Structures are given as C-alpha cells and as structure tokens.
C-alpha cells in the first residue's frame, strides 16, 4: 500500500488501466486529464481504489473505489469510473485488495478514567492477603506526597473470600493516609479507615441512594463500598488531586486517542463524564488545541445524590452541540441499577443468594423510574439523549417504562449493558425507538461464562445473557460498544464475539452495522458518517483482509492498516 502523487496524466491512467483493465490509450487519458484539470470541482484530493469497499449502504453495499474531496466523499464506485476524479494533484492509493469500512464507533467507554495517570497504582485481580498488603504499601512508598492513594484492579470476590476483614488488611498496609482502590467493574471500592473517616462514614451511617456501605455480620464496617457509596468517596479522592485534569489530559493525547485510532475507531461517546471533576474542561482543552482525532459526544454523569432541580439546571447550562465541532456535550448518563455479581442489579424476582439483603433482595436503584421521567421531561427538549445503564430485568423494564411515559419520541435514548432482559421487553425497544447498546467484547459475556452467574440469579435467568440476537430479531436498533476498560475497545474482538456467541450470535452484516451506522445514529451523526456514501464525511478504516472472506474466529487476526478522520490520516500501520 502506498501513496502516489501523479504529475503526468499519462502515468496516472497507465497505472489505473494496468490495475483495473480500462481501455484508454495514454493520449485518450491525457484528453480526460485535461478535461479534469479544467474542472477543479470534479478533481478529488484523494482516491482509494482497487479495494473491497463495504459501504454499509443497502443501496450500494460494495464498491471498488472511493474518491474524496478534502473531508467529503464525492464518489463511490468502480475502479474504472473513479478515473474521472483523478487529477494532477490527486493522492492515489492502490489498496491492493484490502478492505475499506466506515470508521468504527464506540458509543460506551470511559476514556478519561481508563487511561488517566491520576490512578497511581494497580493491584492483581486475585492475590494473597500478604501480596495485597505488600502492593499497597509499596504504592504508598512510591507516592510519598499523594494526599490520597488511588488504585485499581481487584475483584470483589477476592476480598469477600479473605479470612480477615478487608478493612483490617488495607489498614495494615497504610494507616496514615486515605486509600481507595476501584474494583475492576468500578461498582465497588476498597477503602481504609482513614478514607472512611474523611468521607464521614461510620458504622451508624445509612446507605446512600444507589449504594451500600459494606458491613460484616456484626455490623462493623468491612472496608467495601458498593456502587454509589464508593462513587462518592472516589469523587472526594479525585477532587483532592491538584493535577488530576493534567493527568487526564496527558492520558488522552499520549495514549487513548492514538490507540483508538490504531484500532480503527473514529467516534466515541464518553459514557461517564464527571463534570464536577473537570472532565468537560479537559475535553474542551483538547478540542481548543485542535488535537482531537475522534468525534466525541460527552455523556454527563447524573449524580444520584444531587438535588434534581439544581442538577437539571446545571446540565442544561452545559449542553453544546455545534455541528462544526468534533466535540459535543449532548448526552446524559444515568445508572438505573448496579451489577449482577454484587446483587445490586435491579431484578423483578429475588436473587438466588441473599448477599446484601437489599429491598427484598431484588437489587437497588440509583435513579427510580419516576426520577428518570422527571429528567426526560426537563432535558429532552434541550436536545439531550439519555444513556441509561440497566443490567437487571427490572432496571431495563423501568427504563423502558420511563421513556414510554415521558419521552416525546424525538430523542435517541439508549439502554446499555442489557444482561438479563424480560423477553416481553424485547419488542419494546423497537416500539419506543430505544437503542439497545450491548457489550460482547469481554470474554465474560460469552455463553461459556453464563453458568458463573447462575449462583446469583439461578440457571434459568443466567441463560441468554446479553441477548443481542433476540433483540435484533425483535427489531431493535443494536449498537455494540466496549465499556472500556471493563472490556477491550478493539472492535474486531467485539465483531468476532458477536458472530460466534451462539445461541445469541448475529450476522457479520448486523455486527458491522452495530459498530458503524447504528452507532452513528446514536451519536446523531448518521447523516455525516457511519456509512460510505457520496456527501458524507470521510471517516474510514482500511483492513488488511476482507472480513467476509475469512472464518469468524479469524477476525481478530485482521490488522488495521489505516484510519482516516475527515479524510486526514490519523493512523497508518
């Protein structure tokens, strides 16, 4: 693959004819070239040809060539016909049979949290008590000036299996400074006594809305804060860091955006923009410095503990949707519930085990159906779309109920995660025009892992987790995303899992649509990108192999060769 800048008309068409079999002689080609040079509006700035172009456009699914004029697509068609768009200044790329797709979207990820160096250390998902003590103590020594020690990495099951109280273990590592460690799903935090003290949490404290303060059998604090109880303490820790915004910024420009472009991703939604932590200012700085290499929609975090009227007013003031900007603040992120393995996901029927003894053992709500309806009524006319986290069947039903009751029907709300769904709700996604956003890139979502959830919800409810085929069959508009860093953001991994997870596998066409045109719809940019059509912006990805010509389990071996945003190369292998 290479870029060829042509100065002579005969050399342009001699090369084109050699590859595509056109019949023009050099003199005929020269005459055509002269005509092209007389019409600059017809000459492309860049041509990609000799390719397998999968357009995601049902009217013209396949093509051989694409011509770009600056940031716009001006031609999609054959190798022969694209010659009319080649001029003396056209950059011509012979892709030698490689595949071209619309740029991938990821409409649910956590780019600031996942790559920020504000998180000072990581610990293993599973380790011995002594190993954890050593790792946390070592982090303390390596960060002597940190007001809070902030870590990441363990699994909740590891802490609950400890012989000693998790609180006593973390206290043995560090006593004099607050420590908070985020669990891999982000739905619980491991904290020491100093952190609890600074947060004002005692054994007499009541559980906050959407959260649980962990206690042992005798009622003493055990150092685990579930869901919003942990979120509030993490907020306190992050706001104490003087350079958190700078660390977030560096994580974005030095790692996150280059790696996303390397994976063929050209558009993302930040699914949890903590506006009280300066996340909007960080994104705006990147945009103002003209360093964005992605189209970005920010999903403003809705704080469960905040007064509704004050929060609604603040969210309204933060809205921005300049169509000429790559950065938009036009979504709100709500949590309906927690997660299955904490027994905090909202369920219609009780869990198979009684772990936290929550509300009839049916999980919890960050936001109730009535509150979601209140926010819909207040914010939908502003232009906001809602991204609603719902994992349990009750949480999903209540989110659908809220949209059905309060939405005016013009917005593009989506419910994300969708692990356990009442089959009666499948058809409601299409009926209410609610986008079904799912994550299948993580190994833990594959059918082989479904039995692991059976101990929490029983065998029957553990079947068909994340039922993407059932949703598509019922007419739902499906998007596939990563929830990075819970799962890899590599779309090829997501595509491979989506088409191999029988009995809930979908077709490759459906999976690609979920990562492109459907996600572009969710970001309100399907008129701009998401498919390869004349008039749309040139957000493209080039793969070294045609996905339709290989076995499904070979998809992850495919390499991204090039990524274009608005016709400009943001990655080249």
Which of 153-157, 241-245, 556-560 comes out lowest in average pLDDT?
Answer: 241-245
Domain that holds residue 40: 2-97
Q: Is the pLDDT of residue 511 over 50?
A: yes
The CATH number for 37's domain is 2.30.40.10
Nearest residue to 414 (alpha-carbon basis) of 440, 382, 431, 390: 390
Q: How long is the chain? A: 573
Report the range of poorest mean pLDDT among 14-18, 273-277, 363-367, 554-558. Answer: 14-18
| Residue whose pair of structure tokens reads 């029983």 in the numeric block | 458
Residue 567 phi/psi, 5-degree rounding, is 80, -5
420 domain residue, yes or no: yes
The confidence score (pLDDT) of residue 244 equals: 87
Q: Is 335's pLDDT higher than 90? A: yes
Residues ≥6 apart with Cβ < 8 Å to 457 = 340, 347, 351, 352, 420
Residues 196 and 342 in one domain: no
374 and 437 in a common domain: yes
Residue 133 lies in a domain: yes
Q: Is residue 569 part of a domain?
A: no
Q: How do beta strands 65-69 and 72-77 pair?
A: antiparallel
Same domain flag for 263 and 341? yes
Q: What residue spans of 151-299 are helical by DSSP H?
A: 156-160, 166-173, 193-198, 228-239, 244-251, 257-262, 279-288
pLDDT at 3 over 70: no
Q: Within this chain, do residues 136 and 232 fall inside the same structural domain, yes or no?
A: yes
d(CA 206, CA 213): 8
Q: Do the domain assignments include residue 573?
A: no
Q: Cα(24)–Cα(570) distance, rounded to whole angstroms?
A: 35
SS (H, E, C) 286-320: HHHCCCCCCEEEEEEECCCCCCHHHHHHHHHHHCE
CATH of the domain at 147: 3.10.310.70
415-467 pLDDT per residue, tens: 999 999 999 999 999 999 999 999 999 999 999 999 999 999 999 999 999 99
User: Does residue 166 sit within a domain?
Assistant: yes
Lowest mean pLDDT among 4-18, 110-124, 403-417: 4-18
Residues 227 and 253 in one domain: no
d(CA 559, CA 46): 22
**Last residue within a domain, chosen from 185, 206, 239:** 239
Query: What is residue 10's predicted lDDT score, i.e. its pLDDT?
Result: 29
Residue 225 shares a structural domain with residue 252: no
Closest CA to 208 of 180, 227, 183: 227
Q: Residue 23: beta bridge partners?
A: none
Q: Do residue 498 and residue 462 come from a single domain?
A: yes
Query: For residue range 244-279, what is the model confidence (pLDDT) as tens digits?
Result: 899 999 999 999 999 999 999 999 999 999 999 999
Last residue of a domain, one of 239, 262, 293: 239
Q: Which of 195, 219, 239 is the last residue of a domain?
A: 239
> Is residue 509 in some structural domain?
yes
Residues 34 and 170 in one domain: no
List pLDDT tens digits, range 266-318: 999 999 999 999 999 999 999 999 999 999 999 999 999 999 999 999 999 99
pTM for the structure as a whole: 0.91
Residue 445 and residue 417: Cα distance in Å, rounded? 10
Asked whether residue 235 falls in the same domain as residue 147, the answer is yes
Do 335 and 365 meet the contact criterion of CB atoms below 8 Å apart? Answer: no
Let me know if residue 560 belongs to a domain: yes
Q: Within this chain, do residues 386 and 457 fall inside the same structural domain, yes or no?
A: yes
3-class DSSP assignment, residue 345: coil
For residue 345, the Cα-to-chain-centroid distance in whole angstroms is 20
**DSSP per residue, 222-250:** EEEEEEHHHHHHHHHHHHT-TTHHHHHHH
The answer to whether position 532 is within a domain reads yes
What total of structural domains would you count in the chain? 3
- Count of other CB atoms within 10 angstroms of residue 361: 16
**Do 258 and 280 reside in the same domain of the chain?**
yes
Sign of the dihedral defined by the CA atoms of residues 42, 48, 52, 53, in that order: negative
CATH number, domain with residue 431: 3.20.20.140
Structure-token match 């090369």, residue found: 15
CB 255 within 8 A of CB 283: no
Residues 409 and 305 occupy one common structural domain: yes
**CB-neighbour burial class of residue 305 (10 A; exposed 0-12, middle 13-18, buried 19+):** middle
């Amino acid at each position: 693959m290479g870029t060829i800048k042509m100065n002579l008309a005969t050399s342009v068409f001699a090369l084109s004819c050699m590859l595509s079999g056109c019949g023009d002689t050099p003199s005929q080609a020269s005459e055509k070239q002269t005509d092209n040079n007389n019409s600059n509006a017809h000459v492309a700035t860049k041509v990609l040809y000799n390719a397998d172009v999968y357009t995601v456009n049902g009217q013209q699914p396949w093509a051989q060539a694409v011509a770009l004029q600056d940031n716009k697509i001006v031609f999609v068609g054959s190798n022969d016909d694209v010659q009319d768009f080649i001029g003396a200044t056209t950059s011509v790329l012979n892709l030698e049979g490689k595949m071209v797709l619309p740029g991938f979207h990821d409409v649910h990820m956590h780019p600031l949290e996942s790559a920020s160096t504000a998180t000072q250390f990581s610990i293993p998902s599973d380790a011995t008590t002594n190993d954890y003590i050593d790792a946390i103590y070592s982090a303390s020594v390596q960060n002597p000036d940190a007001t809070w020690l902030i870590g990441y990495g363990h699994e909740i099951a590891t802490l609950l299996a400890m012989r000693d109280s998790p609180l006593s273990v973390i206290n043995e590592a560090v006593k004099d400074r607050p420590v908070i460690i985020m669990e891999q799903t982000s739905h619980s935090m491991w904290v020491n006594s100093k952190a609890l003290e600074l947060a004002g949490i005692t054994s007499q404290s009541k559980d906050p809305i959407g959260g649980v303060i962990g206690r042992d059998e005798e009622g003493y604090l055990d150092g685990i804060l579930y869901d919003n109880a942990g979120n509030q303490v993490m907020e306190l820790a992050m706001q104490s860091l003087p350079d958190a915004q700078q660390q977030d910024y560096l994580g974005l420009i030095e790692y996150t955006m280059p790696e996303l472009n390397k994976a063929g991703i050209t558009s993302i939604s930040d699914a949890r923009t903590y506006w009280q932590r300066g996340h909007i200012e960080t994104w705006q700085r990147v945009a103002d410095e003209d360093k964005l290499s992605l189209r970005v929609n920010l999903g403003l975090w809705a704080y469960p503990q905040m007064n509704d009227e004050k929060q609604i007013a603040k969210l309204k003031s933060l809205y921005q949707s300049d169509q000429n900007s790559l950065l938009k603040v036009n979504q709100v992120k709500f949590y309906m519930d927690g997660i299955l393995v904490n027994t905090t996901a909202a369920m219609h029927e009780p869990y198979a085990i009684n772990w936290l003894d929550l509300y009839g053992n049916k999980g919890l709500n960050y936001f109730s159906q009535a509150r979601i309806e209140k926010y819909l009524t207040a914010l939908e006319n502003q232009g906001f779309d809602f991204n609603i986290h719902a994992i349990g069947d009750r949480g999903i039903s209540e989110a659908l109920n809220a949209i059905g009751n309060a939405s005016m029907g013009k917005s593009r709300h989506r419910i994300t995660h969708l692990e356990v769904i009442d089959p009666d709700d499948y058809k409601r996604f299409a009926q209410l025009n609610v986008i079904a956003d799912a994550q299948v890139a993580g190994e833990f979502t594959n059918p082989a892992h479904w039995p692991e959830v059976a101990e929490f919800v029983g065998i029957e409810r553990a079947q068909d987790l994340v039922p993407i085929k059932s949703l598509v069959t019922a007419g739902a508009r499906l998007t596939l995303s990563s929830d990075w860093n819970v799962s890899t953001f590599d779309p090829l991994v997501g595509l491979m899992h989506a088409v191999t997870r029988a009995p809930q596998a979908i077709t490759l066409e459906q999976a690609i649509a979920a990562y492109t045109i459907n996600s572009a719809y969710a970001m309100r940019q399907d008129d701009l990108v998401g498919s390869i059509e004349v008039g749309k912006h040139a957000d493209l990805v080039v793969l070294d192999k045609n996905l339709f010509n290989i076995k499904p389990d070979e998809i992850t071996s495919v390499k991204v060769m090039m990524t274009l945003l608005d016709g400009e190369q943001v990655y080249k292998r």
